Structure 1
Amino acid sequence: MSSDANPDASTDPLLFGQRMQMLRTRRGMSRTVLAGLVGRSPSWVKQVEGGRLQTPKLSMILRLAEALRVGNLSELTGAERSRPTELFIGPGHRRLPEVAAVINAYPLGPATTSAVSSPRHLRARLDRAWRARHSAPNHREVVGSLLPELIRDAQLAARQADSGPQRRAAQAVLAEVYSLAQFFLAYQPESAMLWRVAERGMVAAQESEDPHTIGVSAWLMAQAHRDTGPSHYEAADQVTMETLRYLEPLLPDASHEVLAITGALRFEAGYTAARRGDAGTAWRFWDAARVTADRLPFSYFHPVTSFGRTIMGAHAVTVAVELHAGGESVRQARQSDTFTIPSRPRSARHRIEKARGYQLDGQPEAAVATLEKAYEAAPETIRYNGYARRIVLEESEARPLHRRRRAADLGVRMGILAV
């Protein structure tokens, strides 16, 4: 859910291959790994970096940008070939300044004596916020409007708690408010703030001593590490596995919430393995997550992770896509259509994963058609998703006119292409 700090790409003149090598090494990525991610050989990567091959076409530049997790194509191509296109860091939302202001505030005086919401009242407000997020097509707008007051009130409740149980309950709510903030901040140009919120959420979760709260904060911390790039995969695994070791002894008598966060963490382990290209481990953890999901009621849907029985088909698509198995991605996508995901943003995210599978399988028109459905479900999900942006930009350069027009129309609606 975050992006690595942008490398200094201002030391012009650098050749394309030199920039590519600099970005690759700063991400801790081998030539073999990068080659696998873009469907080429390690020798091809070496020749491009060494300047023995010409700068690739736009479609390959976009794939390299996706694999290297660059924010703007100018990081890879140089300022002289810059396009106003951010990939894994989307545009700043209009609510970002007010959310950032309250996150950056550090009250240093004594806690105010004014009335403070109880943890129980804050929990009810937070539950309403999660429901609003799942039902709203423009979910960042909804969450961004609610977060400032929620953060201030949860911080105040934690400071004013005057007993151990009340303090732990307040810290649990505060940790989950920070979790909601991470969903808002993801893929926006404030990656440092996202890390700050993730760390605060982990501290508050530990203070709460609540297994479910600890699991949720760890789940989001693992995502932050994994999405930073290959050099953080080990840290993502460490957070995931340590938390699973903590939760698994509790499972025989666990609540639905603890079961769900355990299943979500098991899938996260598989997700990271898939990013590494370890198919056996990825599917083993997916299967462990499915076994956990089967212990939940069919209609159960975890409000933070979206985990439940209906999400496992979508998770299977994600594993296949991350393993770059186009045919398997499409097969899993067809099977996953049996279920309905009760969340607009999560449903849109699933359609984006399906679109990635169609493109891997050589079906670009199906990919764009699926992204159109994702846009209908939740415009703010697709607008901030780097994979969706890359597919649309690549198709806007396709040779057949009808494909270019369809992709360009979607790109205009997403705000990444000019009219």
Structure 2
Amino acid sequence: MSPEERRAFGARVAQLRKARGMRQDQLAAAVGRTASWVSQVERGIQPVVRLDVLQLLADGLGVSVQTLRPDAPPPSRSASAPSDQVNDLDRVRLTLSGHPALDAVLDEHPAVAVPDATELAAAVAELWHLTHSARFAELGTAVADTLSRLEGAVRTAAPEQRPGLQLLLSQAYQAVAAAFVRQDEADAAWVAADRAIRAAEQSGEPLHVFAGTYRLAHAFVRLQRLDQAEHAAGKGATALRSYLSVAGPPSPEALSVLGSLHLVLALAAARAGQREQARKALADAREVAAQLGEDRNDFNLEFGPTNVEIQAVSAAIDLGDAGEALDLGQRIDASRLSPERRSRLLIDLGRAHAQRRHLGEAVDCLLQAEELAPESVRSHLAARSAIRELVLLAGRNAPPELVKLAKRANATG
């Protein structure tokens, strides 16, 4: 958006808000932002270039997206309408529905079983491998069986085996939560993360409780419950930092969890348009990453100096700083991270190029992301929004590769 376009857009938002008799803080609450963010939008300072944020504003004002931005493409269906396509994780959603082991509730004297903990550990490791590879269709098939066996095992194993099985159960639910977040199924991610936290607490492994809290905060961000995300991650970071200050030299695992909590705080602040808070949380994460000194994958968090910079790119885009995002992205070597994380960086760089109206560069980034993790691009809301924005930008001159990408991602309208 040019400065003139931002001012015209902001004036339209202010006019529609006043016509509905809403204050800025009321609109902010409706869209999960701050009153300061709404004020900056109305004054033409804060650009609104993402279609998902545009949709939030339209919903908060009770108007169509086209009323706010006449050149925006009409959606093929409402963002809240049920899809006629089968989601890769639909079977997992059904697995999460209701109590996980009703038979055990009715059995007053269950027979003691001896589960194969080694085999179950391998099954959980495979869930994480599929999640990091963004192979969600395969994950959907594997999860239902693994969760069923683990939920049964923790109820029928000998008492001395149960803590280890509860830990595996927590790790499995964390994988499920992470996958649901990446497919923008945040309500299911909330359920999975909550179960992960409970299982981790029963396992006696406190750091896994904090890792589960990180997953929960991410679900809140996707649900636009930014205050809940800040509360969950903020309390977790404060408690963990306080403990580490008196517990002697921190372990790498503890640093990984602490740094990850700071990253989700940065994400929530950026989504709320809170620039200073986002930068402070990123600075805290960089400090922890420097103390860690390397990229690690403790608790499947992939935390380290590289991931901090990847999240800094994402935060810059959410704050409308596409130029800063591209400058940061050029300095990142993500080759040692998972395909999903590398794909996400490319999606974010594509979004940044789209904000700058760099059509060719944006399409190239998104095609590279699709090559790394096709299901991630097809299912990720931000990727699909960026593709729709590029189609809008290109109009009738859209290159064939963009048109084909839009069709593959179901982002044609």
State the TM bucket, normalised to the shorter chain: 0.7 to 0.9
Q: 2:269, 2:184 → 1: CA distance?
A: 27
Partners of 1:90 and 1:310 in 2: CA distance: 37
Q: From the superposition, tell whether residues 259 and 404 of structure 1 become closer, same or farther in structure 2 (CA, over 3 Å).
A: same
2:229 aligned residue: 236
1:365 and 2:342 are equivalent in the alignment:
no
1:205 Cα deviation after fit: 2.4
Shift of 1:66: 5.1
- Structure with the larger RCO, 1 or 2 (CA within 8 Å, 6+ apart): 1
CA distance in 2, matches of 1:89, 1:200: 27
**Match in the other structure for 2:76:** 84
Moved more, 364-373 or 187-196: 187-196
Deviation at 1:129, TM superposition (A): 2.4
Spell out structure 1 runs of 4+ moving beyond 6 A.
16-19, 21-24
Alignment of 1:231-380 (within 5 A): 232-248=225-241, 249-250=243-244, 252-296=248-292, 298-302=294-298, 304-336=300-332, 338-380=333-375
Q: For 1:379 and 1:227, how far apart are their aligned partners in 2?
A: 21
Corresponding position of 1:203: 198
Contact kept in structure 1, 2:112 and 2:158, CA below 8 Å: no
Question: What is the Cα deviation at residue 313 of structure 1?
Answer: 2.2
- What's the CA shift for 1:283? 2.2
Offset of 1:213 from its aligned partner? 0.8
> What is the CA-CA distance between 1:375 and the residue it aligns to?
0.8
Gap change, CA 1:242 and 1:29, over 3 Å in 2: closer
Query: After superposition, what is the alpha-carbon deviation per residue over 1:27-83, rounded to whole angstroms, capped at 9, x for unaligned?
Result: 3546753475xxx425899xxxxxxxxxxxxx979354455597xx997569xx963
The answer for unaligned runs of 5 or more in structure 1 is: 1-15, 46-58
- Kept in 2, the 8 Å contact 1:87–1:389? The answer is no
Conserved in 1, the CA contact under 8 Å of 2:186 and 2:219?
A: no
Listed as ranges, the gaps of 5+ residues in structure 2 are 1-15, 68-72
Contact 2:197 2:212 survives alignment (8 Å)? yes
Q: 1:363: how far off?
A: 2.2
1:222 aligns with 2:220: no
Distance 1:150 1:364, change over 3 A: same
Q: How much has 1:401 moved relative to structure 2?
A: 4.1
Report the alpha carbon displacement of residue 212 of structure 1 after superposing the two structures with TM.
2.1
Paired amino acid for 2:227: E
Which residue number corresponds to residue 13 of structure 1? none
Which amino acid in 2 is paired with 1:323?
Answer: L
- How many Å apart are 1:356 and its aligned residue? 1.9
**TM-score, normalised via structure 1 length:** 0.77
Q: Report if the CA contact (8 A) 1:379-1:414 is conserved.
A: no
| 3-state DSSP of counterpart to 1:306 | coil
CA contact (8 A) 2:183 2:376 kept: no
Aligned counterparts of 1:314 and 1:407: Cα–Cα separation in 2:
25
Q: Distance in 2 between matches of 1:318 and 1:228?
A: 17
What count of residue pairs does the alignment treat as equivalent?
378
Pick from 107, 111, 114 the counterpart of residue 113 of structure 1: 111
Deviation at 1:117, TM superposition (A): 2.6
Query: How far 1:121 sits from its partner (Å)?
Result: 4.2
**Secondary structure of 1:324 counterpart:** coil
Q: Does the aligned pair in 2 maintain the 1:240–1:265 contact within 8 Å?
A: yes
Distance 1:97 1:235, change over 3 A: closer
Kindly indicate whether the alpha-carbon contact (under 8 Å) linking 1:330 and 1:361 is maintained by their aligned counterparts in 2. no
Tell me the CA shift for residue 243 of structure 1: 1.4
**2:113 and 2:156 in contact (8 A); partners too:** no
Give the corresponding residue for 1:144. Answer: 140
Separation (CA, whole Å) in 2 of partners of 1:142 and 1:323: 35
Q: Secondary structure at the match of 2:193?
A: helix
Q: Determine the C-alpha separation between the residues in 1 that align with 2:214 and 2:357.
A: 33
Structure 1 residue aligned with 2:12: none
Aligned match of 2:9: none
Report deviation, 1:168.
2.8
The alignment yields a C-alpha RMSD, in angstroms, of 3.7
